[in-house]
Structure 1
């Protein structure tokens, strides 16, 4: 290696083997006019040769580089031993420069687009500002115009008012001037007459002799004469004024009378007064209306209406009530038109018209689960909705109608109604079938068709609802679905297996088998039905269940059938009304609204409605109160009619029979929900027999109150609480009065205990067993004891400790106790058949030969209803 190639620490050469990295600066431009200078480095490529020393790349002929901004050209440092760039380095440099130029062009284009958008926004803002300014100027002009118009109208009104005041003032002044002139003329006339009498020297005879009045002349001027009249009575004249002192005995005409006279004069000048035409109106005539109210509606005097009634031979005062026919005759007598209305007309328009086809939208199907008790209805529903409701029911038995909404994997919703299966809940099952679209009949595969299963089939057929049979409990031993299918055939339920039109699915609520097929069957049936409803209208539906909640008040579980129920709506449910304060869905969450086929709990009612009542949203609270009042009165009239005197011979005889021998067992029932109270009432009323019946004095929803205890005391009734408890006042009153309160949570136990109590009230039942018979052969004297009967025992045996009866021609003449029994001369306790004996009876001696003696005993039997 030569000396000049050696590494040194001085001079322009640096320590190293040569420059391997080239650096340069590139300016980057960003949006909004920002830029940044960046240092760029590029490494040189080392070429190794066989000798071991790096060889320089072959010198490429210099070619003119493409034009590029100066910012992208790196500055070359002068060196004594410079080298030329290789082709690869030149190509790389050109490529970098080209990319930088392209980026600059793209950034320029972006800046141009942003500038155009900015100008466009500024132009739009300017146009909007101009429009706003024009609108503001127009509004100011309109406001100014309205203010000017109002000022002009106010000025005109003030001018008219001022003109009217001036006219009235002027007329009043003229009237006062005329009245004053008349008074002055009258005073002058009286003064002249007085002077004339004094000048004429009137004699005593003339004064004592009364003057004869001239009919054409005016009133007498004699002050001693006192013509009859109200104004001449000093006691009625009132206080003395200047006008009364100077007016004499003639009464002055009032200003109103003067005006009437002037009006009459003007009417006479214009051709006479025209008779006033009677205005004909349409008068609304209800079923019952008082005379005064009818007169007010016709704008007539009550006396005129009473005169019209007298023409019809009806004597009535203004407070008497007229029926609809009589009121119509009176209205037509006065020339009006009568419009007959009924009290039931308040419900007209409560249920809206039918929806048009274009307003209908698809809705979720309403499915009711029905079947026999303990066949797995609620468990199947739990498996579908992945919840556990059975554990919350007393005894694992459903005692309420539960309403739930379930969504499948596709998001489609299905509304389920779970009905009880016990025989006491017949009405609740019928109610469930009447509001449903599809019925799922649950039949246990190991139990088959049972009584409540048959009842559910009848409800479904009566409502015309399609049915899907779910054969449950397929996981149990002894499950026989073929038996279930054959038993259903006996009740005209033909399944698809037998080429029928009723779908059946084998399921197991415990293992979850077959639930997917059940959902598919429901979806298929719903698709066939094409269920639709209009959500954009006032809500209508049915009350599924109702109860009284201690913290929330009356709560009703409703099922919306069409329309949308919202918070704040005013609605009527049966005989109750209210405003929706809150809506709670089946998951316990509050919602703002509920659409068709959606079950919700409604808070805000005035009271608990009846289960199965229809509910409708109305326009205002006045209409809601009107409908609720009408329905309450209607229910009261029905109760009064039911308790009225019997109208048929059958009811008369049945009431007489009841009064003669049938006892009544009175109860007061308070339950948690309306459906339970209804079911208990029906079950207890059917639990009696010909000897005793159960009468429900009062049944309602809510806790036991002091009023219930008072009612039970007055009627000597048993108080029953079903899932409710009494308050402190009720407990204290029950303890003080000795009233029994029974608490139950299962309807079976309640009915069994009431039946036992009814049987206990009747007392034990006695069965008569005849022990022996004997013929009385002779009656003979037996000392001081009286008569004795000589008998021959013909059947059984005669015992002295039993009761005996004597029959004569098969008619009982005596029933009593045997006093003494003897065989020959010995007292014995028993004489058997074929033997003779003698008997005496307590306080009876009128038997004779030929009578028949029967000895019997009474066996006490526990009474069962």
Structure 2
């Protein structure tokens, strides 16, 4: 059987995998290209040929089979060839289907592009027609009115209108239209339409990307078309200008001024440059210049002071129906070591004293106690040492009731009197707790009697001040003390509004290594919640966490609740007021204003303003010796107390100057400052980090650590005493009377004397008295006994004396002999 039976010849077979592809070129030209995919020719033996000739399969014909190939292998190969051919035919069909789909998509896109271009051309035709019509109307309006036509002559035919001189406007328009187009029908030149067409992004350009450049976005093209359309339809309508009330402080940045006016910064800078001020957007201008700029832009100005930023935290008057009962705040005051903390310890059933260095309270502690009756009491424990006077003063300012602790065996002491004065100044009711009544030497009546001297009359003395005899050791009288506090709180009728923005006082502040700045805050009004934005003194922050006195995290804290607040950007001062504001911008602005005001105040206090002040300052700097120190503490209250204690050390000759004080560990920066000033670094309950220790060893800076304020004050006082000049004391050791005056060659005048009292020594100082008036003071040049030089001459013996550089001596003069002794001075 031949290869051509029932088949087309191989050379005349159709193009396998062929198809038409339409290529797009620039200027809208296209071209159809025939694409042919060639396939490898596969020759397969025909099964019929072997059957006709030999009556078997092709696999069984040894003459048609390669040598060494079995029938099974030959059949397997034939099946593989048939499967490959079937796969190729399926792939060819799929390619043809894909090509047809792509061609349909291209045709659809081409039709959309042509429809869009046609729509654009129609729009442009309408715009040009409208422009031509408007131009014709303008020309007609500008032409003078034609003269009235002459009357028609009878018998003469009337000339038709427009027959004499044809109108040139339509032809000119048509000519302009014709000349304004190229051979593709597009507008030529730099007109508006040409600009629109030049910037248009067609579908073909977007698909092919043959330009290789970056195209404008579709949104930008739409905005440009909208602007061009508005311009063609008579121009864009200008928006009505909004006149704003612009608040202008004493100084304001250019960018901030533009922001408040809602104007472009570049326009504001340009206006300032026209006024002759070459400024940038980050520079500040004064209020007068800002007023000119605001008026130039058509806005209204509102001059405000820098202090007006604090108006957002002004006090809000609470109505009576919003007020709710709140727990009382009790401050425990008294002299040092009178048992204040131990008493609070007994009330709380917790060992607070054990954590204090030397058993002395160094910080203000805030605790909340629940009594057996279920009433909540907020306690503030204040230190009793005299150096912590200011801390106790702050405690009295935030408290409702003062518990004055007086030891029954020690009675009224100086700090007890100070606590009484603080309580009276704050107009706070007082309860006297006579502690240590368990001791044998306790005498409560003596305490009551001594309190009378300070106008504190207890109830047992027919007064109105409650007094309770207690013992922190045995627990005696604690229930009576709590009852007295509850009774006093009931009389006060303490109320607060918990549903307003929170405000409170900072009892203590410290810099924690793991948690950052931490402030112990006693909430006075409102409810402080997690996430609130607040400003406290010169610092601000956002409440990251609230920790109560038991160390547990809470979500909110109401009135009279002490909590630790985390989330500050810096360590505030103890005693600062915390206020919750609405936005971070307000908090930052208030904090920056307060910080600048504090800097100005310090600068004004340290600067001499008059010549007399300058002279006095220079004189003081020359005569007063200074001991510079650098103080780092664990909490803000301790830092403040140490600074006050340092200010009290010194006299007219020496003083202690605190170069820097801060909260937190001693750092390398502190060591650098101490080295430059020659000052030691004092750490109170803090330590230096590793780089600081290494730097201190290299630079020879002394670091001293303390945990009790007594030791710190004593050491600094001793160091300051070393700067005092030694005191010179004179000890009179004898008197001598001049009997005769001799003149000795090579020596000068020598006085023959009789030692009448004491002893005469050659190293001692002498004064020459004549009629009990000192006429000379100096030293002896020589002291002789007979002809021998001696060191001293006893009373009743004669001797010869000669003065150094002085010879006006006479018989009868008295010589006073004394020795000088230097005595080290100490500060009181």
Q: Is the contact between residue 393 and residue 399 of structure 1 (CA under 8 Å) also seen in structure 2?
A: yes
Aligned to 1:433: 396
Matched, 1:346 2:309: yes
Between the two proteins, the alignment pairs up a number of residues equal to 614
Aligned to 2:406: 443
Aligned to 1:641: 604
Pick from 774, 780, 804: which aligns with 1:818?
A: 780
Matched, 1:858 2:820: yes
Matched, 1:783 2:745: yes
Aligned equivalents of 2:292, 2:808: Cα separation in 1:
81
Q: Is the contact between residue 295 and residue 305 of structure 1 (CA under 8 Å) also seen in structure 2?
A: no
Matched, 1:533 2:496: yes
Cα gap change, 1:165 to 1:621, in 2 (>3 Å): farther
Aligned to 2:761: 799
Aligned equivalents of 1:338, 1:810: Cα separation in 2:
86
Matched, 1:579 2:542: yes
| Deviation string, structure 1 residues 548-572 (Cα, Å, up to 9, x no partner) | 1122221111111111112222222
The correspondence of residues 690-701 of structure 1 with structure 2, limited to 5 A, is 690-701=652-663
Report the Cα offset of residue 609 of structure 1: 1.0
Cα gap change, 1:801 to 1:284, in 2 (>3 Å): same
Cα gap change, 1:167 to 1:791, in 2 (>3 Å): farther
Q: Is the contact between residue 766 and residue 859 of structure 1 (CA under 8 Å) also seen in structure 2?
A: yes
Report the Cα offset of residue 242 of structure 1: 8.6
Cα gap change, 1:171 to 1:749, in 2 (>3 Å): same
Q: Is the contact between residue 627 and residue 679 of structure 2 (CA under 8 Å) also seen in structure 1?
A: yes
Aligned to 2:620: 658
Aligned equivalents of 2:125, 2:775: Cα separation in 1:
113
| Deviation string, structure 1 residues 206-264 (Cα, Å, up to 9, x no partner) | xxxxxxxxxxxxxxxxxxxxxxxxxxxxxxxxxxx9999xxxxxxxxxxxxxx9xxx9x
Structure 2, unaligned runs of 5 or more? 1-117, 136-187, 192-226
Aligned equivalents of 2:537, 2:813: Cα separation in 1:
71
Runs of 4+ in 1 over 6 A off after TM superposition: 162-169, 172-179, 241-244, 276-280, 290-308, 329-336, 775-779, 807-814
Aligned to 2:85: none
Q: Is the contact between residue 291 and residue 306 of structure 1 (CA under 8 Å) also seen in structure 2?
A: no
Q: Secondary structure at the match of 2:617?
A: helix
Q: Secondary structure at the match of 2:723?
A: helix
Report the Cα offset of residue 766 of structure 1: 2.9
The correspondence of residues 152-551 of structure 1 with structure 2, limited to 5 A, is 171=127, 282-289=245-252, 318=279, 323-324=286-287, 337-551=300-514
Aligned equivalents of 2:769, 2:121: Cα separation in 1:
115
Report the Cα offset of residue 715 of structure 1: 0.6
Report the Cα offset of residue 840 of structure 1: 2.8
Q: Is the contact between residue 530 and residue 543 of structure 2 (CA under 8 Å) also seen in structure 1?
A: yes
| Deviation string, structure 1 residues 68-102 (Cα, Å, up to 9, x no partner) | xxxxxxxxxxxxxxxxxxxxxxxxxxxxxxxxxxx
Matched, 1:674 2:664: no
Q: Secondary structure at the match of 1:762?
A: coil
Report the Cα offset of residue 832 of structure 1: 5.6
- Give the root-mean-square deviation of aligned CA atoms: 4.0
Aligned equivalents of 1:297, 1:709: Cα separation in 2:
45
Aligned to 1:42: none
Cα gap change, 1:321 to 1:402, in 2 (>3 Å): closer
Matched, 1:745 2:707: yes
Report the Cα offset of residue 787 of structure 1: 4.4
Q: Is the contact between residue 385 and residue 406 of structure 1 (CA under 8 Å) also seen in structure 2?
A: yes
Aligned equivalents of 2:297, 2:773: Cα separation in 1:
79
Pick from 574, 578, 583: which aligns with 1:620?
A: 583
Pick from 761, 764, 767: which aligns with 2:723?
A: 761
Q: Is the contact between residue 295 and residue 302 of structure 1 (CA under 8 Å) also seen in structure 2?
A: no
Moved more, 329-338 or 471-480: 329-338
| Deviation string, structure 1 residues 608-645 (Cα, Å, up to 9, x no partner) | 11111111222222222222222222222222222222
Cα gap change, 1:728 to 1:406, in 2 (>3 Å): same
Aligned equivalents of 2:740, 2:258: Cα separation in 1:
94
Report the Cα offset of residue 350 of structure 1: 1.8
Report the Cα offset of residue 767 of structure 1: 1.8
Pick from 652, 659, 665: which aligns with 1:703?
A: 665
Report the Cα offset of residue 327 of structure 1: 5.8
Aligned equivalents of 1:491, 1:845: Cα separation in 2:
66
Cα gap change, 1:331 to 1:578, in 2 (>3 Å): closer
Report the Cα offset of residue 657 of structure 1: 3.9
Matched, 1:733 2:691: no
Cα gap change, 1:798 to 1:175, in 2 (>3 Å): farther
Cα gap change, 1:293 to 1:734, in 2 (>3 Å): closer
Aligned equivalents of 2:120, 2:498: Cα separation in 1:
59
Q: Secondary structure at the match of 1:622?
A: helix
Q: Is the contact between residue 518 and residue 571 of structure 2 (CA under 8 Å) also seen in structure 1?
A: yes
Report the Cα offset of residue 478 of structure 1: 1.9
Structure 1, unaligned runs of 5 or more? 1-161, 180-240, 245-258, 268-275, 309-314
Aligned equivalents of 2:391, 2:435: Cα separation in 1:
22
Aligned equivalents of 1:332, 1:501: Cα separation in 2:
66
Cα gap change, 1:341 to 1:738, in 2 (>3 Å): same
Aligned equivalents of 1:813, 1:589: Cα separation in 2:
83
Aligned to 2:792: 830
Q: Secondary structure at the match of 1:349?
A: helix
| Deviation string, structure 1 residues 680-718 (Cα, Å, up to 9, x no partner) | 110011011111100000111001111111010001001
Report the Cα offset of residue 822 of structure 1: 2.2
Q: Is the contact between residue 312 and residue 581 of structure 2 (CA under 8 Å) also seen in structure 1?
A: no
Aligned equivalents of 1:811, 1:169: Cα separation in 2:
129
Report the Cα offset of residue 597 of structure 1: 0.6
Q: Is the contact between residue 628 and residue 677 of structure 2 (CA under 8 Å) also seen in structure 1?
A: yes
Aligned equivalents of 1:165, 1:359: Cα separation in 2:
73
Aligned to 1:248: none
TM-score by length of 2: 0.67
Report the Cα offset of residue 783 of structure 1: 2.5
Report the Cα offset of residue 349 of structure 1: 1.6
Q: Secondary structure at the match of 2:472?
A: coil
Aligned equivalents of 1:287, 1:369: Cα separation in 2:
46
Q: Is the contact between residue 769 and residue 858 of structure 1 (CA under 8 Å) also seen in structure 2?
A: yes
Cα gap change, 1:318 to 1:780, in 2 (>3 Å): farther
Aligned equivalents of 2:544, 2:659: Cα separation in 1:
33
Aligned equivalents of 1:368, 1:809: Cα separation in 2:
71
Aligned equivalents of 2:629, 2:121: Cα separation in 1:
78
Cα gap change, 1:386 to 1:830, in 2 (>3 Å): same
Aligned equivalents of 2:339, 2:325: Cα separation in 1:
30
Q: Secondary structure at the match of 2:312?
A: coil
Cα gap change, 1:804 to 1:305, in 2 (>3 Å): same
Q: Is the contact between residue 254 and residue 268 of structure 2 (CA under 8 Å) also seen in structure 1?
A: no
Report the Cα offset of residue 304 of structure 1: 6.7
TM-score by length of 1: 0.64
Matched, 1:839 2:801: yes
Aligned equivalents of 2:587, 2:119: Cα separation in 1:
51
Aligned equivalents of 1:165, 1:766: Cα separation in 2:
113
Report the Cα offset of residue 754 of structure 1: 0.7
Report the Cα offset of residue 432 of structure 1: 0.2
Cα gap change, 1:582 to 1:297, in 2 (>3 Å): closer
| Deviation string, structure 1 residues 723-768 (Cα, Å, up to 9, x no partner) | 1110100000111011111111000011001111111233643322
Q: Is the contact between residue 272 and residue 278 of structure 2 (CA under 8 Å) also seen in structure 1?
A: no
| Deviation string, structure 1 residues 136-158 (Cα, Å, up to 9, x no partner) | xxxxxxxxxxxxxxxxxxxxxxx
